[in-house]
Amino acid sequence: MYLAMALVIATASIPNAGWAQAVSADITISRNLLPDSLRNYIYSLWVDGNGDIFTTMPWKALLRSTDDGVTWKQIFKRDFLSNFGFAVMRDQKTNALLFGNGGGLYRSSDDGASWTFVWEKGAGCFLVKPDGSILAGTGKHIGHSEDGGVSWKTVLYRDDHYFNVEALAMSPKTGSLFAGTADTIGLGVLRSTDDGTTWHQSNSGLGDLHVWALATDNNGTIYAGVERKGLYRSTDDGVTWEKVPGFNASPRNAIAILVLKPDLICVGFGWKGGGDPVGKGGGFKYDGKAWTQFIADSIDVTSFAVKGKSLLVGSLDAIYRVDGAIDTPVSVEEEPDVIPSSFVLHQNFPNPFNPSTTITFSLPDRSHVRLAVWNVIGEEVATLVEEERSAGIHRIVWNAKGLPSGIYLYRMQTETSVQAKRMMLLK
C-alpha cells in the first residue's frame, strides 16, 4: 500500500444550494446542505431497503428523505435530546425502525409515524448478529435484543470509566465481537470471544485508547479508527494492532470506515462532536493498490452510507454524494423473446452461494426496474439493476466477493410490483 495523490474536491468549488456538483475525471461529488431549519452536523447516515436516506443530528434528531435528498422530513423530535450517540437501523425480521441517542432507545412499528421508548440506555451504534439479534452500544453499556428491539438486556456495563461505545463489529471468520470506545476516557477496543458474555481490553499496538470506528472485511481483518493516530488494523482477531501500511497522512481523527471488500475501503477523518479536533479532515479510498484522497482536508467526515453505486458522506455542514468512487461487479443475460405472463422475482441459484449467484426476474411488459441487495441491518450493499428493461426473462449474475458470509435480502421494484427474497452467502 502507498498513498497516492489525486485531484480532490473542496467545498469552495461547490455552490451552496441543493445537490450542487463538481466533477473531477471519473468522480462527481455533489453537496446537499439540507434546509436551514433542520441543519446541524451530520452524526450518522443510513440507507434502508427502500432507498430512503436517514440522517441523525444532535438536537434535530432523525430526518428522512424519500426522494434522493431533494426534500427532508423530521420523523423523530423531542424537546431535549442528548447530544451524543445517534444511530438508526431497521430490523429485518419485524421491519421496525430503531433510533437511539444518549437519552434512550426508541422503536417504531409504523415506519416512523409513532415511537415507543424501549431502553433507557440509548444507542450510538448497532450491530446485527448472524442469528438476527441486535447489539446496541452507548455510554458505558452494550445491550442485546433477541425480539427485534422490543426488549433489551445489558451485556456490558463498566462504571469505572466515563466512556461511550462508539462502534461495534463482528469478525466473519471467528465470530469475535469488538467494541470501540472513546469520549472523556477511552478503553480502546473491547473484545469478546464468548458471544458477548465477557469483554476484555485488547489494545496491544494500538496508538491511542480513543477508538471512533470499527469495520471488518471477509478475510477477518479488523480496522479501527483511532483519535489523533489515524487508521489501524488487526489480522489476528484483535489480539495485536498495527498502523495500516502505506497510509501516512498527517495526524487525524479516523471517524468513519467503510469496507466494501478487501480492495475497496473508504476512511473518513474529522471531528464528531467529541474527542480532540486536531489535524485535518478529508476522505481517502483504497483500491487494492494505493490510497487516494477524494474528499478535501477542509471537510470533516463523520459517516458513510451506500445508495446504489453512490457513496454518501456525512460532514459537519452537509451530505456529499460521490459518484464513480465505488462499483459492484454485475453481469447480465436476457431472454427478450420469451414473454412471461406476470412479474416474478425468482429464487437465486445456487443458494447458498460462494461468491457468485444468479438472480432471475420476469417482466410481462417493459418497465423501469430497480433490483438491489441489502445486508441484515438494512444497508444497501449492491445495486444490480436500475433502468428500463424490456419484457422477457432477465438473469443477473452477482459476484459477492469481498462481502462477509450471512443472510442477504434482494428486492425488485417495478412500476406496479415489489417483490423480495432472501439468499445466503456461505464462505
How do residues 44-93 score in pLDDT, each as one tens digit? 898 887 788 998 887 667 889 988 888 888 898 765 455 555 899 988 77
Asked if residue 272 lies in contact with residue 40, where contact means CB atoms within 8 angstroms, the answer is no
**Paired residues of 379 in beta bridges:** none
- Predicted confidence at residue 24, as pLDDT, reads 46
Instruction: Tell me which of 64-68, 116-120, 249-253 is least confident.
Output: 249-253
Say which CATH architecture domain 330-425 belongs to.
Sandwich (2.60)
Of 194, 210, 103, nearest to 161 by C-alpha is 210
Please tell me the least confidently modeled range out of 35-39, 68-72, 348-352.
35-39
Confidence of residue 40 (pLDDT cuts 50, 70, 90): low
pLDDT at 2: 32
Question: What average pLDDT does the structure give for the chain?
Answer: 81
Higher pLDDT, 276 or 166: 166
> What pLDDT band is residue 25 in, cutting at 50, 70 and 90?
very low
**How high is the pLDDT of residue 251?**
66
Distance (Å, whole) CA 377 – CA 95: 10
346, β-bridge pairs: none
What's the average model confidence in pLDDT over 239-264? 81
Structure pTM?
A: 0.74
| Residue pLDDT, tens place only, 193-248 | 999 999 999 999 998 899 999 998 877 899 999 988 889 999 999 999 999 987 76
161-165, Cβ contacts within 8 angstroms, sequence gap of 24 or more: 161/185, 161/187, 163/139, 163/187, 164/84, 164/85, 164/102, 164/124, 164/137, 164/138, 164/139, 164/140, 164/274, 165/124, 165/125, 165/137, 165/138, 165/139, 165/140, 165/141, 165/190
The per-residue pLDDT for 150 is 96
Contact 361, 367 (CB under 8 A): no
Q: Which fold has domain 3-323?
A: Methylamine Dehydrogenase; Chain H (2.130.10)
Residue 26's pLDDT band, with cuts at 50, 70 and 90, is low
Provide the residue type at 35 as one letter.
Answer: P
Give the C-alpha separation, 163 to 131, whole Å: 28
* Mean pLDDT across 164-171: 91
Higher pLDDT, 134 or 61: 134
Residue 143, pLDDT score:
95
Amino acid 13: pLDDT:
33
End-to-end CA distance of the chain: 26
Q: Would you kindly state where each structural domain of the chain is located, as residue ranges?
A: 3-323, 330-425
